[in-house]
C-alpha cells in the first residue's frame, strides 16, 4: 500500500511537470480544496494510477496484434489513450489533442517505469 501511495506522489509530480512543459495538457488546480493545488495533482495522479492498473492490461491484451505488428511502438498510443481516459474521468485534467497526449503519455510512462525500477526490489 505504501508503494502505491508513493507511486501516486511520483505521478503527481510527473503531472506537474507535464502540465508545465507540454502544450495542450493542463491541470486546473482547486485552490479552495483541503490540500490546494497539490491535492489536485495528487487526485489526477491517483486516477491515472487506477486507470493504468485496471484498463491498461485489458487494452494491452486487446491490442496485442497491433503491438506485434508495430514491434511495440503501439505502446505509445496506449499510453496516450490512458492519459485521454484519465482526462475523461476527471474535470481537472484537459488534453487538447493526440500529439499532446502522446508526449504526455510518454513522459508519464517513463516516470512510472523509473519508479518501478527503483522501488521494485525484493
**pLDDT tens readout for residues 63-116:** 999 999 999 899 999 999 999 999 999 988 999 999 999 999 999 999 999 998
Angle, CA of 76, 104 and 24, to the nearest 5°: 125
Distance (Å, rounded) from C-alpha 19 to C-alpha 17?
6
Mean pLDDT is lowest, of 9-18, 23-32, 55-64, 67-76, for 23-32
By C-alpha distance, which of 41, 21, 44, 40 is closest to 100? 21
Distance (Å, rounded) from C-alpha 60 to C-alpha 86?
16
Q: What are phi and psi of 95, to 5 degrees?
A: -125, 120
Are the C-beta atoms of 23 and 104 separated by less than 8 Å? no
- Helix ranges (DSSP H) in 1-122: 2-21, 36-62, 64-69, 74-89, 98-119
Give the three-class secondary structure for 121. coil
**Spacing of C-alpha 85 from chain mean position:** 9
- The reported pLDDT for the residue numbered 121 is 60
pTM reported for the whole predicted model: 0.88
Look at residue 10 and tell me whether its pLDDT is greater than 70: yes
Amino acid at each position: 500500500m505504501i508503494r502505491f501511495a508513493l507511486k501516486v506522489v511520483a505521478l503527481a509530480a510527473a503531472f506537474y511537470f507535464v502540465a508545465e512543459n507540454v502544450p495542450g495538457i493542463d491541470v486546473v488546480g482547486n485552490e479552495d480544496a483541503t490540500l490546494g493545488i497539490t491535492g489536485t495533482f495528487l487526485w489526477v495522479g491517483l486516477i491515472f494510477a487506477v486507470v493504468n492498473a485496471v484498463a491498461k492490461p485489458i487494452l494491452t491484451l486487446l491490442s496485442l496484434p497491433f503491438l506485434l505488428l508495430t514491434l511495440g511502438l503501439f505502446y505509445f498510443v496506449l499510453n496516450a489513450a490512458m492519459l485521454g481516459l484519465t482526462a475523461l474521468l476527471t474535470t481537472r485534467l484537459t488534453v487538447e489533442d493526440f500529439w499532446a497526449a502522446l508526449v504526455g503519455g510518454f513522459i508519464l510512462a517513463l516516470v512510472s517505469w523509473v519508479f518501478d525500477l527503483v522501488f521494485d526490489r525484493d
